[in-house]
């Protein structure tokens, strides 16, 4: 039996080569999509999915004994996902504030003549 040395220790020659975790790749893609769509608030869903996949990938990498790679990318993936969530949250907050300011400015002003709702029911109301 021939044993091969690698960074994680001694492994059997029939063991597979270390590969990058597919969950890390998927989480990286989802985090990027989340940042790209965060201006439209649609980036929250892929960003949350990226956070979930990143935590699953971290557990898988720790349990793999060195055969899954990609642990170094997890911090950046989490940072991108939280940036996407933050941007989307800031946009929602800005829209709500603009709406509240608009409502406050128009408080007390009627946006109609006052008889619009009853105009159809009154006889000879201009028809």
Q: Are 90 and 51 in contact (CB under 8 A)?
A: no
Question: Please, where are the H alpha helices in 21-117?
Answer: 22-37, 44-63, 74-105
Q: Which residues pair with 20 in a beta bridge?
A: 69
Q: What's the pLDDT band for 26 if we cut at 50, 70, 90?
A: very high
Give 20's contacts (C-beta < 8 A, 6+ positions apart): 68, 69, 70
pLDDT of residue 9: 62
Going 72 to 15 to 62 to 81, the CA torsion angle's sign is: positive
pLDDT digits (tens, 9 = 90+) for 43-92: 999 999 999 999 999 999 999 888 899 999 999 999 999 999 999 999 99
Kindly state the percentage of the chain with pLDDT values over 70.
Answer: 77
């Amino acid at each position: 039996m021939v044993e091969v040395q690698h960074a994680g220790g001694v492994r059997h020659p029939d063991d597979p080569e270390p590969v990058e975790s597919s969950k890390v790749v998927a989480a990286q893609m989802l985090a990027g999509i989340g940042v790209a769509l965060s201006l439209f608030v649609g980036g929250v869903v892929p960003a949350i999915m990226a956070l979930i996949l990143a935590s699953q990938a971290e557990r898988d990498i720790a349990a793999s004994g060195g055969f899954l790679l990609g642990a170094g990318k997890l911090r950046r993936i989490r940072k991108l996902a939280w940036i996407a969530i933050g941007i989307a949250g800031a946009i929602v907050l800005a829209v709500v504030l603009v709406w509240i300011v608009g409502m406050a400015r128009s408080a007390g002003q009627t946006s109609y003549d006052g008889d619009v709702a009853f105009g159809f029911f009154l006889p000879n109301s201009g028809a």
